[in-house]
């Protein structure tokens, strides 16, 4: 049986209703569970750049599910059948797929995430059978695929990528996207106008295709801004950056 959390999250994203998530890079299921209880629509585990291996992804998804509130999302390490299949088998409701450069890359990602006849996902759902559903058609209807737009090719081909059948959304990786359009470093003010134009192009492509547009953000204020600009889901910061920032602020206050 598909869980109510998974079903509601899929409905919200596919109806392009606003959703807010949180980004986790630490293999710390106890803190991940606490974050998942705060009211975020989803919590995303970073298996590409985060400090999370397979066991960390598994226990992180279990911690998110234990909250009974947030959906578990995984940014997989690569666009291949093994990485995507393992994340979904472990219980992810959605996968964020990096380095999507063209429509074929996006179509491959969808194919890896769906069971036959719509894809080539191997049947072995393990714990996702408890949370997403053991019946292939039900799983396909609930699990979602987001293509990251973060490369020169991805931006150039964003309209074709968005139109790929079965894709549920685009997801902007702002640091890599900034570098892709000529920034010397993420947040480089020299390319601010070009960067904002790129973000508008991505959200417009998603809207034209009738799918969701998501983006990572450094803080809640920026997430609110992007949602107001037409993005339909926005992820906030990360557990590691917040841990460091909060500890630094308390230290400064204590010593002042």
Determine phi and psi for 117, rounding to 5 degrees: -90, 0
Active site residue 49: yes
Of 226, 237, 217, give the one whose Cα is nearest residue 18. Answer: 226
Catalytic residue among 49, 118, 216, 242: 49
Q: Output the CA torsion 47→13→141→101 (10° steps).
A: -50
To which residue do tokens 């472990």 refer?
A: 90
The CA distances from residue 4 to 53, 73, 238, 239, in Å, are 27, 15, 26, 26
For residue 194, how many other CB atoms are within 10 A of its CB?
Answer: 14
- The residues that are catalytic are 49
């Amino acid at each position: 049986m598909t869980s109510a959390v998974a079903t509601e999250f899929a409905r919200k994203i596919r109806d392009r209703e606003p959703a807010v998530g949180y980004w986790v890079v630490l293999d710390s299921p106890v803190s991940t569970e606490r974050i998942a209880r705060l009211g975020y629509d989803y919590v995303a585990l970073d298996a590409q750049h985060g400090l999370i291996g397979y066991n960390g992804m598994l226990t992180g998804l279990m911690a998110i599910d234990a909250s009974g509130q947030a959906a578990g999302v995984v940014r997989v390490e690569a666009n291949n059948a093994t990485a995507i299949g393992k994340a979904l088998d472990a219980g992810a409701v959605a996968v964020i797929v990096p380095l999507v450069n063209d429509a074929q890359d996006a179509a491959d990602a969808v194919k890896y995430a769906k069971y036959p006849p719509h894809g080539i996902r191997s049947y072995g759902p393990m714990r996702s059978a408890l949370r997403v559903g053991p019946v292939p058609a039900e799983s396909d209807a609930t699990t979602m695929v987001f293509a990251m737009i973060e490369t020169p090719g991805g931006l150039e081909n964003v309209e074709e990528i968005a139109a790929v059948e079965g894709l549920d959304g685009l997801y902007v990786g702002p640091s890599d996207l900034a570098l892709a359009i000529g920034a010397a470093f993420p947040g480089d003010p020299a390319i601010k106008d070009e960067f904002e134009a790129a973000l508008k192009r991505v959200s417009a492509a998603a809207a034209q295709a009738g799918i969701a547009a998501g983006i990572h953000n450094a803080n809640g204020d920026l997430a609110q801004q992007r949602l107001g600009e037409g993005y339909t889901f926005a992820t906030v910061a990360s557990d590691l950056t917040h841990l460091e920032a909060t500890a630094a602020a308390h230290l400064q206050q204590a010593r002042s």
